[in-house]
């Protein structure tokens, strides 16, 4: 009797559940190494972008472990804004305490160390890729032989690890919320699969805990309430919708999270603000902002969904900023919008047609659409048109499908060919990832690089201008200072062209012209900022300072006392208690031989700083000039008593 050849369904497993293939046996370590290695060149980067919100300028995170209670009791943005109301600039609020808590722990253990934070991100990403491998292998094990399941799982994990879209998540420390959210979601998924296969109900409790932690990292983990039961339908023959009652711990964990979230930040999703940078679906009509029409809103959303598909397949160019108007306004007459409609309707049809046959392609399409839905602006507004980090979770579905497709189309022809194609894609994407990472070195590098791509983003043009100013005033850049500030003005002016109501751009333009000592132009920009927001404290403060510095400049450099006094009077109208403005006003009137006015302002300045010996000398001189040597000598004596060396320091022989 002939010996029966083994089929692919009877391949030998090792005791650990791996196949006999050495490469597949070490697959988890391969994907850990790949995920970590691709981001080694980020370890010596600084903080960048939203790291300020959750780390460097967050009052709770900076308190270290003692700040954890604050992170748990308030909206995630509260520790940055430090006042009620501003945390809800984006509709719905943000309650994501877990990731800032990890930053607070790091603050206590390592101080402000971006190296440690980047290292932890890279390690977590490598571990996440390994967990993805384990989850995909377990998911597929009932549908195919162990080698095939392991190969597709390795391909999916490798493609996921290498995808350049993930640079925003891993290279930016703040992106840890995406990593932890997906980590917890995959952990819940893996535990449910284990519970189902081993008939161990206790594992469902672990899955619920894992999903709860994922939700505390970022709310989009809630989509796994749909992903997990649907995956059981597609990949476990014994699953029926009626058996979904077994997943009640996941629902309970979600309800618990939503209750805590609502108790902390409220239950209302809020009305989208009529402000372009926090609501991309508003536009300027005449001199006021109005909401998009329905056709414009849906046209722009559908065009954005088309861009997401394009970036999955062809991740070029990349940018961290898709704020208005990097994504232009589209309506339903745009052919690209209709292409998006056709593609997404096609995905839905693919899911429907593949539902009964439990097609892997249909499941991958479902996973992609389900996890993207919550950040698509369809369910509720998310505050921006799109973001590459929003594809972090949905890209799992794409990676699974692409790994399966490479195997299905090429493995039968040649195992070497399938490995070769997979290696080429991973190498190409990995090289792009490594090349993209240095852009995230710091704000200056990030902004000045990506502004060349997001040329129509008001927010990025403004951020680039602000960062150029911040760098220009450093001593190391003194030789390039004026050129850098002029470049900043170009970007800030462009920001105002895109978003005429951009009050922060007005403020920064005022600052730029202030540093150039072009005070009249500086004052105009501060006044424009105040016309947009009369309560804009930064603009009021900077306007007062600019009036004062203009007064100083006109007096000390231009010798134009009337102009100097006019500017100083305007400075004092905004802040009568400003010491320096009163002092300068006294000097200006003193030089102009208006002793009575000089004495009045010097006296007021001394009321503000009563121990200022130099001012006592000036007041004494003024009394001498006014013809009262007794009071003059009295003030000189008081000055010497306050500071015996004051006359020598001022170069006055006494």
405 band by pLDDT with thresholds 50, 70 and 90: very high
Quote the radius of gyration of the chain (alpha carbons, Å): 32
417-459 pLDDT per residue, tens: 999 999 999 999 999 999 999 999 999 999 999 999 999 999 9
CA distance 413 to 294: 50
The stretch 270-288 carries a mean pLDDT of: 86
> Computed from CA positions of residues 509, 511, 514, 516, in that sequence, does the dihedral angle turn out positive or negative?
negative
The domain limits of the chain are: 22-135+171-183+202-232+241-265, 445-649
190-214 pLDDT per residue, tens: 999 999 999 999 999 999 999 999 9
- Whole-number pLDDT of residue 21: 65
The stretch 515-523 carries a mean pLDDT of: 97
CA distance 211 to 182: 9
CA distance 200 to 363: 25
pLDDT of 605 over the 50 cut: yes
13 band by pLDDT with thresholds 50, 70 and 90: very low
> What is the value of pTM for the model shown?
0.91
> Computed from CA positions of residues 86, 90, 93, 95, in that sequence, does the dihedral angle turn out positive or negative?
negative
The stretch 179-187 carries a mean pLDDT of: 98
415 band by pLDDT with thresholds 50, 70 and 90: confident
pLDDT of 5 over the 50 cut: no
pLDDT of 2 over the 70 cut: no
pLDDT of 225 over the 90 cut: yes
CA distance 594 to 53: 51
Counting Cα atoms < 13 Å in the Cβ hemisphere of 267 gives 2
244 band by pLDDT with thresholds 50, 70 and 90: confident
% of the chain at pLDDT higher than 70? 94
Mean per-residue pLDDT of the chain: 92
414 band by pLDDT with thresholds 50, 70 and 90: confident
12 band by pLDDT with thresholds 50, 70 and 90: very low
- Whole-number pLDDT of residue 224: 98
Q: If you count them, how many residues does the chain have?
A: 654
> Fold for domain 445-649?
1.25.40
The stretch 68-87 carries a mean pLDDT of: 81
Whether the CB-CB separation of 552 and 566 falls below 8 Å is answered with: no
CA nearest neighbour of 544 among 570, 562, 506, 507: 570
The stretch 367-386 carries a mean pLDDT of: 94
Residue tagged 């995956």 (tokens) = 231
CA distance 575 to 552: 16
Whether the CB-CB separation of 421 and 201 falls below 8 Å is answered with: no
What's 273's DSSP letter?
Answer: P
Residue tagged 């399938």 (tokens) = 418
CA distance 250 to 224: 9
- Whole-number pLDDT of residue 487: 98
Phi, psi (degrees; rounded to nearest 5) at 282:
-130, 155
> Computed from CA positions of residues 90, 95, 97, 98, in that sequence, does the dihedral angle turn out positive or negative?
negative
91 band by pLDDT with thresholds 50, 70 and 90: low
Whether the CB-CB separation of 211 and 188 falls below 8 Å is answered with: yes
Among 98-102, 127-131, 237-241, 374-378, whose mean pLDDT is lowest?
237-241
- Whole-number pLDDT of residue 16: 37
- In the structure encoding, which two tokens stand for residue 644, read together? 């015996």
pLDDT of 97 over the 80 cut: yes
The stretch 262-276 carries a mean pLDDT of: 81
């Amino acid at each position: 009797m002939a010996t029966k050849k083994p089929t692919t369904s009877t391949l030998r497993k090792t005791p650990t559940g791996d196949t006999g293939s050495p490469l597949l046996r070490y697959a988890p370590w391969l994907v850990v190494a790949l995920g970590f290695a691709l981001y080694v060149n980020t370890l010596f980067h600084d903080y960048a972008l939203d790291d300020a919100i959750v780390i460097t300028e967050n009052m709770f995170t900076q308190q270290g472990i003692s700040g954890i209670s604050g992170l748990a009791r308030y909206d995630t943005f509260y520790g940055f804004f430090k006042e009620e109301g501003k945390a809800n600039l984006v509709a719905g609020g943000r309650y994501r305490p877990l990731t800032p808590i990890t930053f607070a722990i790091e603050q206590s253990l390592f101080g402000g160390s971006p190296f440690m934070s980047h290292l932890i991100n890279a390690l977590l990403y490598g571990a996440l890729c390994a967990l993805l491998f384990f989850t995909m292998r377990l998911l597929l094990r009932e549908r195919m032989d162990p080698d095939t399941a392991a190969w597709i799982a390795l391909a999916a994990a490798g493609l996921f690890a290498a995808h350049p879209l993930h640079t925003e998540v891993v290279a930016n420390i703040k992106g840890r919320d995406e990593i932890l959210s997906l980590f917890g979601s995959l952990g819940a998924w893996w535990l449910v699969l284990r519970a189902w296969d081993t008939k161990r109900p206790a594992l469902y409790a672990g899955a619920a805990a894992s999903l709860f932690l994922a939700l505390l990292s970022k709310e989009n983990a809630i989509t796994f309430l749909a992903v997990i039961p649907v995956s059981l339908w597609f990949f476990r023959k014994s699953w029926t919708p009626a058996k979904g009652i077994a997943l009640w711990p996941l629902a309970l964990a979600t309800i618990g999270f939503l209750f805590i979230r609502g108790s902390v930040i409220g239950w209302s999703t809020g009305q989208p603000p009529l402000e372009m940078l926090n609501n991309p679906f508003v536009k300027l009509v005449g001199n006021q902002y109005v909401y998009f029409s329905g056709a414009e809103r849906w046209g722009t959303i559908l065009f954005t969904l088309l861009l997401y598909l394009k970036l999955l397949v062809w991740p070029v160019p990349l940018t961290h900023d898709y704020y208005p108007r990097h994504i232009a306004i589209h309506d339903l007459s745009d052919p690209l919008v209709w292409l998006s409609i056709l593609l997404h309707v096609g995905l839905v049809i693919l899911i429907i047609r593949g539902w009964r046959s439990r097609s892997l392609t249909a499941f991958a399409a479902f996973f992609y659409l389900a996890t993207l839905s919550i950040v698509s602006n369809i369910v509720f507004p998310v505050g921006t048109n799109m973001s590459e980090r929003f594809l972090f979770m949905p890209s799992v579905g794409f990676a699974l499908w692409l790994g399966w497709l490479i195997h299905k189309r090429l493995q039968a022809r040649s195992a070497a060919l399938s490995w070769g194609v997979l290696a080429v894609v991973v190498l190409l994407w990995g090289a792009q990832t490594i090349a993209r990472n240095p852009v995230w070195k710091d704000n200056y590098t990030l902004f000045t690089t990506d502004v060349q791509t997001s040329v129509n983003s008001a927010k990025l043009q403004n951020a680039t201008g602000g960062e150029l100013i911040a760098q220009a005033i450093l001593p190391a850049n003194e030789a390039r200072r004026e050129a850098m500030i002029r470049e900043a003005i170009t970007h800030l002016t462009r920001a105002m062209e895109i978003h005429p109501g951009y009050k922060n751009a007005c403020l920064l333009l005022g600052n730029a012209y202030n540093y150039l000592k072009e005070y009249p132009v500086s004052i105009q920009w501060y006044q424009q900022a105040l016309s947009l927001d009369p309560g804009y404290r930064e603009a009021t403060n900077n306007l007062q300072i600019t009036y004062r510095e203009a007064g100083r400049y006109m007096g000390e450099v231009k010798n134009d006392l009337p102009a100097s006094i006019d500017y100083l009077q305007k400075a004092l109208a905004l802040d009568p208690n400003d010491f320096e403005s009163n002092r300068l006003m006294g000097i200006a009137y003193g030089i102009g031989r208006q002793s009575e006015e000089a004495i009045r302002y010097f006296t007021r300045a001394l009321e503000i700083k009563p121990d200022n010996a130099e001012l006592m000398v000036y007041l004494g001189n003024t009394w001498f000039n006014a013809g009262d040597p007794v009071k003059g000598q009295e003030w000189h004596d008081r000055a010497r008593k306050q500071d015996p060396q004051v006359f020598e320091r001022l170069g006055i022989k006494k």
